[in-house]
Amino acid sequence: MNKADCTGNLIIVSGPSGAGKSALVTGVLRSLPQLRFSISYTTRLPRGTETHGVEYFFVDRQEFQNLIEKGEFLEWAEVHGNFYGTSSRFVDDILKNGEDVILDIDVQGARTIRQKRSDATAVFILPPSFQVLRERLECRRLDDGLVIEQRLKRACKEIRHFKEYDYLIVNDNLGSSIDELKSVVSSARCRIAVRIESAKSILATFGGVDAEDPR
C-alpha cells in the first residue's frame, strides 16, 4: 500500500517511569518501517547522552510558555517539576505524510490527546511487580533516593488508569514485549478506517462497490 493512500496512525504509549517504555519504543522503531517517534519539548535538563532534537527538544521555561501561548501543543503537562509538551505541528506533518507516529507520554497527556484524537491507539506498559520497578529505577542511577520514591509514589497512581487504554503489555521480557508492541502497531495499520481509500481504489478495478462482474 502506498503511504500516500492514507494518513498515518497515532500510537500512544504510557506507563510509570521505569516500566521500560523507552526501551520498547526504541526496539519497535528499529524494526518497523514508516514509524516515527514524536519528539517532545521539555524544560528538564538532558540526562546522560541525551541530545537536543533526538530524545527531546530541550527548552527553558520562558520558551515553553511562549509555545503554550501560541497554541503549539497537542498536550502539555508538568511532571516532577518540569514541563513536557507534544507539538501538534510535528505530529501532524508526519501523519499527513502517511507515516505512523508513536508517542511516549504520561497518563494525563494521553487522556488529553485521546479527547482530541479519538482514533489514536493507546498502549499501557506495566512492570511485572512493584519490586521490579523499584530495582529498575535504582539500577538506572539517574535519580537520587528522594526522586525515586516520588516516582514510585506517582507510579502507584498511574497504574490505576490502565483500563483506559486499548492494549496492555506487561514488560517482563524485553524481547517479547517489543514483539507485542510491534503487533499493536501492525494491527492499527490494518484497520478499515485506515485502509478505506486503498480499498475504494481496489474496488474500482472491479467496477465499483455494486458491481457483480467486472469483466
pLDDT of residue 52 exceeding 90, the answer is yes
> Which parts of the chain are beta strand (E)?
10-14, 35-37, 40-42, 56-58, 73-79, 82-87, 100-104, 121-126, 167-170
- The predicted pLDDT at position 208 comes to 72
**Least confident residue range of 87-101, 114-128, 134-148:** 134-148
Amino acid at 139: C
Q: Is the pLDDT of residue 25 over 50?
A: yes
For residues 72-94, b (16+ Cβ closer than 10 Å) or e, as one string? bbbbbbebeeebbbbbeebbbeb
Quick: pLDDT tens for 195-205.
Answer: 888 888 898 88
Q: Give the separation between CA 112 and CA 119, rounded to whole angstroms.
A: 13
Cell 498511574, located at residue: 158
The alpha carbon of residue 146 and the mean position of all alpha carbons in its chain are separated, in whole angstroms, by 28
For range 157-172, the mean pLDDT: 96
Q: Kindly state the average pLDDT of the residues 110-116.
A: 94
Rounded to the nearest 10°, the torsion over CA 30, 35, 40, 45 is 10
Answer yes or no: are the C-beta atoms of 176 and 188 closer than 8 Å: no
pLDDT for residue 3 is more than 80: no
pLDDT above 70 for 6: no
Report pTM.
0.85
What is d(CA 208, CA 166) in angstroms, rounded to the nearest whole number? 34
pLDDT at residue 2 is higher than 70: no
Contact 162, 168 (CB under 8 A): yes
Q: Report all structural domains of the chain as residue ranges with CATH numbers, in order of start.
A: 3-205 (3.40.50.300)
